[in-house]
Amino acid sequence: MFDTQFLIEVLVGGLLSGVMYSLVAIGFVLIYKTSGVLNFAQGAMLLFAALTFVSLVERGTPFALALLATLAIMVALGITIERAVLRPLINQPPITLFMATLGLSYVIEGAAQLLWGTQVHGLEIGVSDIPFDIAGVFISRFDLFAAAVAGSLVALFTLFFRYTRTGLAFRAVADDQFAALAVGLRLPRVWAAVWTAAGIVALVAGLLWGARLGVQFSLSLVVLKALPVLVLGGFDSITGAIVGGLLIGAIEKLAEVYVGPFFGGGIEAWAAYVVALALLLVRPSGLFGQKLVERV
């Protein structure tokens, strides 16, 4: 017998966990849009932010103060990365920058764990994970909270991009780096701002993921979950990150429940990639990604 209610429950659960992927993916998109770099260190930044916050709280810092301190540290990290890594690599091909972020992810992961230790920390952000009942379908309160946070973050970014001067600068740089330079935008400053923004997204995502999984090294592997989302949505579209996240979340859960048993389960690790790949074969720049124009 086919159980519709169960299907809806799986679907909603999937969509909501997809929001968590979107949160990670937005950090990637911000940086890709403005500098054409796939920032592999996003996961490491997420780990670093969550670990710093948890360690501060465990050492007796009040919640709000710890949040502020972590925020300040992420801003400092963003500026440092721009100065130490990106600025010397200006004008290098994107693949070089990508490899630099791979190196960066090693440095940040190592530093985070060297500083705060490798044990697993629990993180309590004051939202209970009790499911509640909407028309017979159980929905996790925590998932809803995460979705709300993600929604407001996206709204905030949209407003920021549209109505502030810095946002305008971001868009200009994303559109055409050379033209942006030519009209006098300071690329290093814009990049520092973007990496700071990505750091803040990492903090938010890190807190939510940390509350769900516990703060530990495997948190940085969330990147690997976010990559198919990016591929599906297109690397340079925030809308794509959201839609892609929802799709991947739903597909992953549905596949695990309905297709998984045929393979003996555990297909979550690659199902998302296969779906993303299949879509890419039809649309090579994802659902919302910018089309590539090639000239000889």
Partner 1 sequence: MTTITETTVAPTRLSWLTPNLLGVALLLLLGYGLVPWIGSDYLMDAVLTPFLALALAAIGLNVLTGYAGQVSLGSAAFLAVGAYAAYNLNLRLPSLPLLADIVLAGAIAAAVGIVFGLPSLRLRGFYLAVSTLAAQFFVQWALTKFGWFSNDNASGVIDAPVIRIGSLSFTSATGRYVFSLSIVAVATALTARLLASQIGRNFIAVRDHEVAAKVIGVPLLRTKLLAFGISSFLIGVAGVLWAFAYLRTVEPAGFNLDRSFQILFIIIIGGLASLRGAFIGAAFIVVFPLLLSRLGAALLGSVFDSGVLEMSQRIVIGALIIAFLIAEPRGLVALIDRAVAAARRLRSSQS
Which residues of the shown chain bind partner 1 in the complex (CB under 8 A)?
36, 38, 84-85, 88-89, 92-96, 98-100, 102-111, 113-114, 118, 177, 224, 227-228, 230-231, 235, 263-264, 266-267, 269-270, 273-274, 276-277, 280-281, 284-286, 292-296
133 vs 174: CA distance, rounded Å: 43
22 or 177, CB closer to partner 1? 177
Q: How far is the CB of 148 from partner 1 (least distance, A)?
A: 29
Q: How far is the CB of 208 from partner 1 (least distance, A)?
A: 23
235 vs 94: CA distance, rounded Å: 13
98 or 161, CB closer to partner 1? 98
185 or 280, CB closer to partner 1? 280
Q: How far is the CB of 127 from partner 1 (least distance, A)?
A: 31
Q: How far is the CB of 114 from partner 1 (least distance, A)?
A: 4
6 or 270, CB closer to partner 1? 270
Q: How far is the CB of 61 from partner 1 (least distance, A)?
A: 24
228 vs 48: CA distance, rounded Å: 23
On the 0-12 / 13-18 / 19+ scale of CB atoms within 10 A, 29 is: buried
38 or 75, CB closer to partner 1? 38
280 vs 2: CA distance, rounded Å: 31
Tally Cβ neighbours within 10 Å of residue 186. 13
